[in-house]
């Protein structure tokens, strides 16, 4: 196993009696029911135990704001505890082939089996598919965040040792912000790459289009290659007024490799005359016009609060509902707005995080 894929972080702070920050806001959608999961207490750690071992299975890469802020929030919730962390990176956005992920998943499971952590924290869906589902129903507590698919897909809802935080995109809020900035954009195309996680996202979005009567979502396109994406963007200029960019990570180049999403965004900003929106704050920093972002930090913080109660108070994972965080943050690429000739009112700007330049500048 290569050194750059596993990061060991040793915490040395003494245990203090500080409670985690106030619990995260209520769910945007009803919690996943816990029917059939009889709550059984996890044995309380011995009073002499002052150090915990936690493995974080990171689906994607680092540095990247989404993954890094989830881990930052998780650690913040465990502040004051003596924790040794190991981080295993699956790198699923840069290497999305099933062969790669199966091999990475096996290596991650080997780490878990050999190190025997007190808890596994796994972020985003690939970590659940290739790692944590193998431990559902076992003795190691599992806490997840950033999960788009239903926990039932991974066999979690009947497992007493699993809980976590779902990721529900702020679709209606993002579309409303987009329409406020570009009121004339009434026909919108939605773009996905071929990652399996987008099927559930698309269904949730389609179920809520009626809440956005000012916009007609005329296309829901799954695109496989970067060349096809470029062609489709040019086609859109004759058929729609705007684009919702959801999945842009798995577009393949001529050699079959994933094109970095920042390269996709830069090409879009430099070549497309259509305004666009999405759901993650780093998209705005790299040229997407506007987003109402799911907070990676809030996702990790909520997961960390759960982990703290499991480790310190001996609570069962099954006693925590699997539900999403609700806090979103509006963000606007002012650089993109200027390039498109759009004027944004001061109230909208003041209530948003504003990126005045592109992330590659």
Q: What is the pLDDT of residues 308-323, one digit of tens each?
A: 999 999 999 999 999 9
Q: What is the pLDDT of residues 236-257, one digit of tens each?
A: 999 999 999 999 999 999 999 9
- How far is Cα 322 from Cα 94, in angstroms, rounded to an integer? 28
Radius of gyration of the chain (CA): 21
pLDDT for 24: 36
The helix/strand/coil state of 21 is coil
Closest to 175 in 3D by CA, of 276, 107, 254: 276
Total Cβ atoms within 10 A of residue 186? 14
Q: Which residue has the higher pLDDT, 20 or 34?
A: 34
Q: Which residue has the higher pLDDT, 26 or 290?
A: 290
Asked if 161 and 117 touch (Cβ cutoff 8 Å), the reply is: no
pLDDT for 326: 87
Please state which CATH class domain 3-167+296-324 belongs to.
alpha beta
Mean pLDDT along residues 209-223: 97
What integer best gives the mean pLDDT of the chain?
89
pLDDT for 49: 57
Q: What is the pLDDT of residues 161-191, one digit of tens each?
A: 999 999 999 999 999 999 999 999 999 999 9
Strand partners, 32: 322
Instruction: Quickly state the pLDDT bin for 327 (edges 50, 70, 90).
Output: confident
What end-to-end distance do the CA atoms of the chain give, in Å? 36
pLDDT for 76: 98
Instruction: Quickly state the pLDDT bin for 355 (edges 50, 70, 90).
Output: very high
Within 86-221, residue ranges assigned H as helices are 98-115, 125-130, 171-181, 198-207
The helix/strand/coil state of 116 is coil
- How far is Cα 140 from Cα 132, in angstroms, rounded to an integer? 10
What DSSP line would sit under 126-151, residue for residue?
A: HHHHHTGGGGTTSSS-EEEEEE-S-G
Instruction: Quickly state the pLDDT bin for 48 (edges 50, 70, 90).
Output: very low
Q: Is 171-293+328-355 a CATH 3.40.50.2300 domain?
A: yes
Mean pLDDT along residues 70-77: 98
Q: What is the pLDDT of residues 96-150, one digit of tens each?
A: 999 999 999 999 999 999 999 999 999 999 999 999 999 999 999 999 999 999 9
Q: What is the pLDDT of residues 265-311, one digit of tens each?
A: 999 999 999 999 999 999 999 999 999 999 999 999 999 999 999 99
pLDDT higher than threshold 60 for residue 14: no
pLDDT for 46: 43
Mean pLDDT along residues 86-104: 95
pLDDT for 37: 55
Domain extents for the chain?
3-167+296-324, 171-293+328-355
pLDDT for 50: 72
Total Cβ atoms within 10 A of residue 133? 20
Asked if 211 and 181 touch (Cβ cutoff 8 Å), the reply is: no
- How far is Cα 194 from Cα 260, in angstroms, rounded to an integer? 15
Proportion of the chain above pLDDT 70, given as a percent = 86
pLDDT for 38: 52
Q: Which residue has the higher pLDDT, 73 or 326?
A: 73
pLDDT higher than threshold 50 for residue 11: no
Closest to 159 in 3D by CA, of 23, 40, 4: 40
The helix/strand/coil state of 328 is strand
pLDDT higher than threshold 50 for residue 23: no
Q: What is the pTM of this model?
A: 0.76
Burial profile 339-359: b = 16 or more Cβ within 10 angstroms, e = fewer: bbeeebeeeeeeebebbeebb
């Amino acid at each position: 196993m290569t050194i750059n894929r596993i990061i060991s972080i040793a915490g040395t702070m003494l245990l203090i009696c500080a409670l985690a920050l106030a619990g995260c806001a209520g769910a945007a959608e009803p919690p996943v029911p816990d029917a059939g999961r009889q709550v059984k207490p996890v044995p309380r750690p011995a009073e002499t135990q002052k150090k915990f071992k936690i493995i974080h299975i990171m689906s994607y890469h680092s540095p990247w704001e989404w993954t890094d802020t989830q881990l930052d929030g998780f650690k913040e919730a465990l502040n004051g505890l003596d924790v040794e962390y190991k981080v295993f990176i699956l790198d699923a956005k840069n290497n999305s082939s099933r062969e790669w992920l199966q091999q990475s998943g096996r290596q991650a499971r080997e780490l878990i089996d050999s190190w025997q952590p007190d808890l596994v924290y796994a972020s985003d869906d690939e970590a659940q598919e290739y790692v944590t589902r193998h431990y559902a129903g076992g003795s190691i507590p599992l806490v997840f965040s950033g999960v788009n698919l239903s926990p039932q897909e991974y066999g979690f809802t009947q497992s007493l040792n699993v809980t976590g935080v779902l990721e529900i995109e702020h679709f209606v809020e993002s579309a409303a912000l987009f329409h406020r900035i570009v009121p004339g954009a009434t026909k919108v195309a939605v773009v996905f790459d071929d990652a399996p996680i987008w099927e559930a996202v698309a269904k949730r979005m389609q179920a809520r289009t009626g809440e956005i009567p000012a916009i007609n979502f005329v296309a829901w396109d799954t695109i496989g290659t970067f060349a096809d994406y470029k062609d489709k963007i040019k086609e859109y200029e004759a058929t729609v007024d705007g684009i919702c960019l959801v999945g842009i990570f798995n577009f393949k180049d001529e050699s079959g490799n994933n094109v970095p999403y920042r390269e996709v965004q830069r090409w879009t900003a430099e070549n497309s005359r259509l305004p666009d929106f999405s759901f993650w704050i780093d998209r705005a920093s790299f040229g997407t016009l506007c987003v109402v972002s799911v907070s990676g930090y809030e996702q990790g913080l909520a997961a960390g609060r759960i982990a703290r109660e499991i480790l310190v108070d001996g609570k069962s994972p099954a006693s925590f509902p699997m539900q999403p965080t609700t806090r979103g943050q509006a963000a606007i690429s002012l650089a993109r707005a200027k390039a498109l000739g759009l004027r944004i009112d001061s109230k909208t700007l003041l209530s948003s995080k504003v990126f005045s330049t592109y992330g590659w500048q």
